[in-house]
């Protein structure tokens, strides 16, 4: 274990404690975020909206999530993650409460789009991954991030049935209020994630955040990684938001869509863990290419086969195993190339590209459906873009950057 890692285990906030706490935060935050697709139909039906209205609000959420992420990362890298996560919990709870009161598209955009988008930037993967990566030795980093990613996946598996039960039993408005109370539980956990930033001073590279960003965006591999990440967001948000409605259009029950999304979350637990483990043993950029290509093949096979309960559940299991495997491997690759000092900032900057893709996947899915009354074109796009992402990641130069003898020693 490295010297920075040993210094952090002196108090009770050991790497294991930080990993558990960060995992719980991701379980709640990511789980609730992935349940929004269950609200598309009941809210649209009750309020007389087309699917594009709700889809645009969630698309805006993803765009704000991505745009606010680098700023949240800068604050976390400078002052520690605790304050950022606490602010995210408060914004998240407020957004869900106001979302329950929305009666117009603009009100939904403000609540679900702006507030919850900013909240996700403060308590999402980039912030939590930064804390965890700085607390563990480099050889264990990808594995630890895979465990944290698995915790976020468990949230999708656990919160989806929870949200569906709330909607069925008490209605979508009251369900959103209960979810607001649930996400507020993140606030007290944020104190555990407060980092002692002074401990990094002696070993941190002599580099400002602006210099770190300029260095990253001048690196061809970082740009390729970010561009591929755009495809990940496009695929995931399209499936997460529109898949339940797609199945209902095929005369399957809403419960089938909920179960399929829950299966994605369940198998994502194993997938995040496995891809994170593989990232510590094989070349990360090759793993990303394999992951994107396999995802494209899985989608193509699903669309080619007859759509029924068995194929839906099988697709949920397969795509779930591939779902968020990109997250720990991408963050570990950024840490490998650039170091961990500004990992939250650089990870969130890469995630902005992911969220641009998420915006396009959510909004374009709703627009094309309202235009053509079909999701066929969107499925074709997700397949083609998966192949492109596989090709983009293959030539990435993943060698660590050396900034000089003193800094290389640090």
pLDDT of residue 410: 38
Average confidence (pLDDT) over 238-246: 85
- Checking if the pLDDT of 20 tops 90, the result is no
For 309, the token pair is: 């309960």
Rounded Cα distance, 309 and 404, in Å: 58
What are the pLDDT digits (tens) for 151-208?
A: 877 877 788 888 989 999 999 999 999 999 999 999 888 888 776 654 454 455 577 8
Give the pTM: 0.75
Lowest mean pLDDT among 143-157, 244-258, 308-322, 355-369: 143-157
Q: What is the DSSP letter of 13?
A: -
What are the pLDDT digits (tens) for 199-219?
A: 454 455 577 888 888 999 999
pLDDT of residue 191: 82
Average confidence (pLDDT) over 245-255: 84
What pLDDT band is residue 252 in, cutting at 50, 70 and 90?
confident
What pLDDT band is residue 295 in, cutting at 50, 70 and 90?
very high
Average confidence (pLDDT) over 15-39: 86
Q: Tell me the three state secondary structure of residue 35.
A: coil
Percent pLDDT > 70 in the chain is: 92
Question: Measured between alpha carbons, how far apart are the two ends of the chain, in Å?
Answer: 14
Domains in the chain, start-ordered, CATH in brackets?
A: 9-195+207-402 (1.20.1250.20)
pLDDT of residue 328: 84
For 165, the token pair is: 């039960």
pLDDT of residue 292: 96
pLDDT of residue 205: 53
- Checking if the pLDDT of 128 tops 50, the result is yes
**CA pseudo-torsion sign 134, 278, 396, 382:** negative
Distances (CA, A) of 1 to 4, 15, 53, 245: 8, 11, 51, 49
Average confidence (pLDDT) over 291-310: 94
Rounded (10°) CA dihedral 27, 177, 110, 185: -40
- Write down the residue that tokens 């130069």 correspond to: 397
Report the chain's mean pLDDT, rounded to a whole number.
85
For 172, the token pair is: 């979508």
- Checking if the pLDDT of 269 tops 80, the result is yes
Burial 107-140 (b: 16+ CB within 10 A, else e): ebbbbbbbbbbbbbbbbbbbbbbbbbbbbbebeb
For 59, the token pair is: 């698309």
Rounded Cα distance, 323 and 119, in Å: 22
How many Cα atoms occupy the beta-carbon half-sphere of 14 within 13 Å? 6
Distances (CA, A) of 293 to 149, 175, 232, 353, 384: 20, 37, 11, 19, 10
Average confidence (pLDDT) over 328-333: 88
Rounded Cα distance, 186 and 152, in Å: 13
What pLDDT band is residue 403 in, cutting at 50, 70 and 90?
low
Q: What is the DSSP letter of 114?
A: I
> Distance of alpha carbon 209 from its chain centroid, rounded?
23
Average confidence (pLDDT) over 46-73: 85
Percent pLDDT > 90 in the chain is: 34
CA angle 3, 5, 11 (to 5 degrees): 115
Q: What is the DSSP letter of 36?
A: G
Which residue did the predictor score with more confidence, 238 or 132?
Answer: 238
């Amino acid at each position: 274990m490295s010297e920075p890692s040993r210094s952090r285990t002196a108090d009770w906030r050991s790497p294991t404690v930080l990993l558990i706490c960060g995992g719980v935060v991701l379980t709640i935050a990511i789980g609730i975020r992935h349940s929004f697709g269950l609200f598309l139909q009941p809210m649209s039906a009750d309020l007389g909206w087309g699917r594009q209205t709700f889809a645009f609000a969630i698309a805006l959420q993803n765009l704000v999530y991505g745009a606010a992420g680098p700023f949240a990362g800068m604050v976390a890298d400078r002052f520690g993650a605790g304050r950022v996560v606490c602010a995210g919990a408060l914004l998240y709870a407020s957004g869900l409460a106001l979302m329950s009161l929305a009666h117009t598209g603009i009100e939904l955009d403000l609540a679900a789009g702006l507030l919850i988008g900013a909240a996700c930037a403060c308590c999402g993967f980039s912030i939590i991954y930064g804390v965890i990566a700085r607390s563990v030795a480099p050889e264990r980093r990808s594995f630890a991030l895979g465990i944290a990613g698995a915790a976020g996946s468990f949230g999708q598996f656990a919160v989806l049935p929870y949200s569906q039960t709330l909607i069925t039993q008490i209605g979508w408005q009251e369900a959103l209020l209960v979810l607001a109370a649930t996400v507020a539980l993140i606030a007290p956990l944020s104190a555990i994630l407060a980092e002692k930033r002074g401990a990094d001073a002696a070993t941190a590279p002599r580099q400002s955040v602006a210099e770190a960003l300029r260095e990253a965006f001048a690196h061809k591999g970082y740009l390729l990684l970010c561009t591929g990440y755009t495809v990940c967001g496009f695929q995931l948000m399209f499936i997460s938001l529109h898949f339940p409605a797609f199945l209902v259009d095929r005369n399957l029950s809403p419960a089938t869509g909920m179960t399929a999304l829950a299966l994605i979350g369940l198998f994502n637990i194993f997938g995040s863990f496995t891809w994170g483990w593989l990232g510590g043993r094989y070349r990360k950029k090759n793993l990303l290419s394999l992951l994107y290509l396999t995802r494209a093949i899985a989608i193509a096979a699903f669309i080619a086969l007859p759509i029924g309960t068995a194929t839906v559940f099988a697709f949920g299991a397969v795509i779930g195993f591939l779902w968020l495997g990109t997250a720990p491997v991408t963050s570990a690759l950024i840490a490998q190339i650039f170091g961990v000092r500004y990992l939250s900032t650089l990870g969130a900057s890469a995630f902005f590209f992911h969220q641009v893709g998420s915006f396009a996947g959510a909004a374009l899915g709703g627009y094309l459906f309202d235009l053509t009354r079909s999701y066929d074109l969107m499925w074709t796009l997700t397949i083609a873009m998966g192949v492109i992402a596989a090709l983009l990641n293959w030539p990435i130069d993943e060698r660590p950057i050396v900034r000089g003898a003193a800094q290389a020693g640090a």
